[in-house]
């Protein structure tokens, strides 16, 4: 069985963080990715619910990735990425990749617990696969 698209995306993100890419590049990719998530989810669950889920997952992830704690602001709609992107940019590239990957994994898992794994996978397959159009093939681990 092949690896789930979210796991492939996180592997690619970690590879990017370890390949000489800058933290700014990791942050820009995360911002792009988050905007795609909002495009898919906002019509289904609403802007406030997307923001609430974002903040909840940010809070949960910050328990293991302490540098994310200062980005937690409570529920905001729409999500303001300025602080999160700034924090990502301040980290070493591997740390930035690990932190953003952990957040995306938490977000995916929380959404699956609310909507079900099958629906979550269908919603995010195209987003996760879009990731591979951005990350150079040479940066994707074999």
Place of tokens 């959404």: 111
Whether the predicted pLDDT of 140 surpasses 50: no
Whether the predicted pLDDT of 124 surpasses 90: no
Residue 95 confidence class, pLDDT cut points 50, 70, 90: very high
Comparing 71 with 93, the larger pLDDT belongs to 93
Q: Rounded CA gap, 109 and 132, in Å?
A: 21
Does the N-terminal peptide bond of residue 109 adopt cis geometry, omega within 30 degrees of 0?
no
What are the Cα distances from residue 34, in Å, to 1, 115, 125, 134, 141?
Answer: 27, 18, 14, 14, 23
Question: What pLDDT, on a 0 to 100 scale, did the predictor assign at position 32?
Answer: 84
Question: What pLDDT, on a 0 to 100 scale, did the predictor assign at position 89?
Answer: 95
pTM for the complete prediction?
0.84
Whether the predicted pLDDT of 72 surpasses 80: no
What are the Cα distances from residue 15, in Å, to 32, 50, 126?
Answer: 18, 28, 20
Residue 84 confidence class, pLDDT cut points 50, 70, 90: confident
Of 22-36, 90-104, 120-134, which gets the smallest average pLDDT?
Answer: 120-134
The phi and psi torsions of 24 (rounded to 5 degrees) equal: -60, -35
């Amino acid at each position: 069985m092949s690896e789930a698209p979210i796991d492939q995306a996180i592997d690619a993100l970690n590879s990017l963080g370890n390949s000489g890419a800058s933290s700014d590049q990791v942050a820009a990719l995360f911002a792009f990715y988050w905007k795609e998530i909002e495009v898919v989810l906002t019509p289904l669950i609403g802007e406030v619910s997307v923001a609430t889920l974002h903040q909840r997952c940010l809070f949960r992830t910050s328990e293991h990735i302490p540098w994310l704690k200062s980005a937690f602001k409570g529920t905001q709609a729409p999500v303001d990425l300025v602080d999160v992107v700034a924090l990502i940019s301040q980290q070493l590239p591997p740390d930035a990749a690990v932190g953003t990957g952990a957040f995306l994994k938490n977000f995916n898992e929380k959404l699956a617990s609310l909507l079900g794994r099958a629906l979550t996978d269908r919603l995010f397959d195209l987003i996760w696969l879009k990731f591979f159009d951005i990350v150079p093939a040479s940066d994707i681990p074999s």
